A = this chain, B = another copy of it.
Amino acid sequence: MATSLAEENYLKIIYRLCEGTKEGISTNSIAELINNKAASVTDMLQKMAEKGWVTYQKYQGVRLTEIGQNIALSIIRKHRLWEVFLVEKLGYNWDEVHEIAEQLEHIESETLINKLDSFLDFPKIDPHGDPIPSQEGEIPELEYLHLSEVKLNETCTLMGVAKDSAVFLQLLTKLNLSLGARLEVVEINTFDRSISLKIAEEKPIFISHEVAKNILVKI
């Protein structure tokens, strides 16, 4: 069944919210992320339930069905592949590509996305370190730690970010924190949980707990 632009955006957001929990996703939380009023969301959820993309019970929130999840994954796949294209081929910075990929992810053509995948050499992660689902909807499960969980004096590699707002990414860029960087936690302040961090062999920089929480690393 064909999906409209509005429906695709709902599916994507519900997918993201489902990831964190086994509970039903609340109307309000969707409304907030999609920037609509709750009444409009209720409306759409009922239509999507009829199409079999979500299970929905009044006042109990929604969850994606198998089908809904597959549609969501294919949109996410497209979004992330286009982001790789924008950064790798067109020379964008990682904080500039989100808006454009939001549009490109809705281009409908199975062959296009597979040719793009091949042109990009089958990347496994996007410019923010997020995994790219396969054509079959499989996500390479990479278990990363949040930098905030790394112990004192341990060394790790920056593998991704848990948030891809432009301001956050620009901050990382300014701090010289990029994908693949080798990091050593040289101090943890118990007061505010801020961290002192060595990047490669440079002199240490300070980052807040809030920032550390949104950086994903591998030991």
Residues of A in contact with B (beta carbons under 8 Å apart): 86, 89-92, 99-100, 103-104, 107-109, 112, 115-116, 119
- Structural contact, A107 and B109, CB atoms closer than 8 A: no
Least CB distance from A176 to B in Å reads 24
Measured between beta carbons, the chain B residues less than 8 angstroms from A89 are 119
Q: Is the CB of B107 within 8 A of A91?
A: no
A115 and B92 within 8 A (CB): yes
Q: Which residue of B lies closest to A115 (CB)?
A: B90
Report which of B86, B91, B107 forms a contact with A104, defined as CB distance below 8 A: B107
Q: Closest CB of chain B to A26's CB: distance in Å?
A: 32
A115: chain B residues at CB < 8 Å are 90-92
For A112, give its contact among B90, B108, B109, B112 (CB under 8 Å).
B90
Taking a contact as CB atoms under 8 Å apart, the answer to whether B109 and A100 are in contact is yes
Residues of B contacting A100 in the complex (Cβ-Cβ under 8 angstroms): 107, 109, 112
CA distance A112 to B108 in the complex (A): 19
Which residues of B sit under 8 angstroms from A116, Cβ to Cβ? Answer: 90
> Which residue of B is nearest A112, CB measured?
B100
